[in-house]
Amino acid sequence: MAPGARIAVYKACWEEGCASSDILAAFDEAIADGVDVISVSLGAVGNAPEFYDDTTAVGAFRAVSKGIVVSASAGNSGPGDSTACNIAPWFLTVGASTLNRQFPADVILGNGETFTGTSLYAGEPLAANKIPLVYGGDVGSKVCEEGKLNATMLAGGAGAILASTEVYGEQAISSPHVHPATAIPFAAAEKIRKYITMQNSPTATIVFRGTVVGPTPPSPRMAAFSSRGPNFRAPEIFKPDVTAPGVDILAAWTGANSPTELDGDTRSGIAALLRQNRPEWSPATIKSALMTTAYNADNAGGVIGDMSTGDASTPFARGAGHIDPNRAVDPGLVYDAGAEDYITFLCALGYTAEQVAVFDSSTNCSTRAGSSAGDHNYPAFSVVFTSNKLVVVRQRRVVRNVGGDARATYRAKVTAPDGVRVTVIPRTLRFSATQKTREYVVTFAQRIFGSVTKNHTFGSIEWSDRKHSVMSPIAITWPESQVADM
């Protein structure tokens, strides 16, 4: 993504895991070396820890305070709600989505039915004639462990059909199998199992199609495993931020262990290019540019899909959208923040002096009283309604004009989430050579009780000067008691 970039690698993990001391040491070494971007493929499994207990968040805060962009994976724990990690506001948090490239390997049953799977197997093809088909749960181990599937060959098996889990929906995971094998989605696997039980002599073969690039199925789509929002620790901070290619990425590896989070290399390379093009931009400005210029449509013109459901994805899966590096160079308006803003945010969370001291030992939160986590100058809006009462939430933002026209005028267009009335004041922002920043306030008001049928509803605010479109997603989280039954 960034030709000619100098890459420095810092070892933080070992066979037994990643010690906190090693993670912090890696961050400190990178900071001392003066890197521009840090790519982090680490994160908690399960509920994200408090920021002061999150070693990666602490190390990232140190780096961002020195002007270094820290891009991190949202994680591979999807598709459940609030599974995203690296959710502090100073991270650039990225989900994983597909490309328009596939590695199809079709299962053809004896009755002619065909199911498309995926495989990176590159050996000799199977014979064209059908081969007897058995269900592995009836004849052997019920668990396939990585590197252990050669038992199929030893037992006389010609190949293997691997089933994905139900929660992964339409997704199956490609692997560089050493023998003929393909992975298929759960629904296809269930149909094949039914075929086996209904036939006296079931047969099948696998046809490997190699690499296929094309418009079908539409892309990008969100990977089922990509971790999701809302933010478990600070629901007023929208996460993930954006999505980038992270499925079936071709890359060199040693064979000792499969690489992970290659969407991180994409986002980090783009951040490096932005840093080169706009060296005066802060890490928050670079993140803002990537978020507000991201796109939300696939190559067929529909909303970016979600492989776990087969339906359109939500912003809690795709973030602000898929990164668009060409547009990010000229975003028009940006939302900036620095170390002091992040400390104010931590104070707004109600952290104790000892907890905030993990980030800055000189901070006195009493001098920052009255701050709200929702007022953190983020390029997105996340609002939580916690009761059945008609509640009004206000969030404040400041934008800076970085476009070519110093005298630009931007007007707001609101797409309100279901059940909410959204008001932007002022609706017009006028800039000048001496007035490069403007402030606005957004008010979110519940409309009526029981007016929504989902736990989360979404909308957007777009600022436009007819040349730039500065888009910010809106996410509303509703209390269970206010969600009407379908």
Tokens of 328: 């990010």
**Which residues have a Cβ under 8 Å from the Cβ of 106 and sit 6 or more positions away?**
114, 115, 116, 117, 182, 206, 207, 209
Q: Indicate if 107 and 94 belong to the same structural domain.
A: no
Mean of per-residue pLDDT scores for the chain: 92
| pLDDT mean over 60-75 | 97
**Which residues have a Cβ under 8 Å from the Cβ of 247 and sit 6 or more positions away?**
96, 97, 98, 99, 223
Binning pLDDT at 50, 70 and 90, where does residue 412 land?
very high
The CA distance from 485 to 375, in Å, is: 33
Of 184, 213, 242, which residue constitutes the final position of a domain? Answer: 213
Residue 339 lies in a domain: no
- Tell me the pLDDT tens digit for each residue of 129-145: 889 999 987 765 555 55
Total domain count, the chain: 3
Residue 147 lies in a domain: yes
**Which residues have a Cβ under 8 Å from the Cβ of 472 and sit 6 or more positions away?**
291, 292, 320, 379, 380, 381, 460, 461, 462
Of 160, 183, 213, which residue constitutes the final position of a domain? Answer: 213
The CA distance from 124 to 27, in Å, is: 45
- CATH number, domain with residue 206: 3.50.30.30
Residue 81 lies in a domain: yes
Of 213, 245, 280, which residue constitutes the final position of a domain? Answer: 213
Q: Residue 296's pLDDT is what?
A: 98
- Positive or negative CA dihedral for 473, 479, 482, 484? positive
- Tell me the pLDDT tens digit for each residue of 70-118: 999 999 999 999 999 999 999 999 999 999 999 999 999 999 999 999 9
Range of the domain at 200: 101-213
pTM of the model: 0.93
φ, ψ of residue 204 in degrees (nearest 5)? -165, 165
Q: Indicate if 40 and 83 belong to the same structural domain.
A: yes
Q: Indicate if 120 and 55 belong to the same structural domain.
A: no
Task: Assess contact for 238 and 378: CB atoms under 8 A.
Answer: yes
Residue 43 lies in a domain: yes
Q: Indicate if 45 and 135 belong to the same structural domain.
A: no
Does residue 120 carry a pLDDT above 50?
yes
Q: Indicate if 24 and 36 belong to the same structural domain.
A: yes
Residue 359 lies in a domain: no
Q: Residue 486's pLDDT is what?
A: 37
Tokens of 265: 């290399």
Q: Indicate if 392 and 297 belong to the same structural domain.
A: no
Binning pLDDT at 50, 70 and 90, where does residue 475 land?
very high
Residue 370 lies in a domain: no
Binning pLDDT at 50, 70 and 90, where does residue 260 land?
low
Residue 36 lies in a domain: yes
| pLDDT mean over 421-445 | 98
Q: What does each C-alpha distance from 287 to 81, 91, 284, 372, 431 come to in angstroms?
A: 23, 9, 5, 21, 22
Q: Indicate if 195 and 263 belong to the same structural domain.
A: no
Binning pLDDT at 50, 70 and 90, where does residue 264 land?
low
Parallel, antiparallel or unpaired: strands 437-446 and 212-213 = unpaired
Residue 358 lies in a domain: no
- CATH number, domain with residue 481: 2.60.40.2310
| pLDDT mean over 223-249 | 97
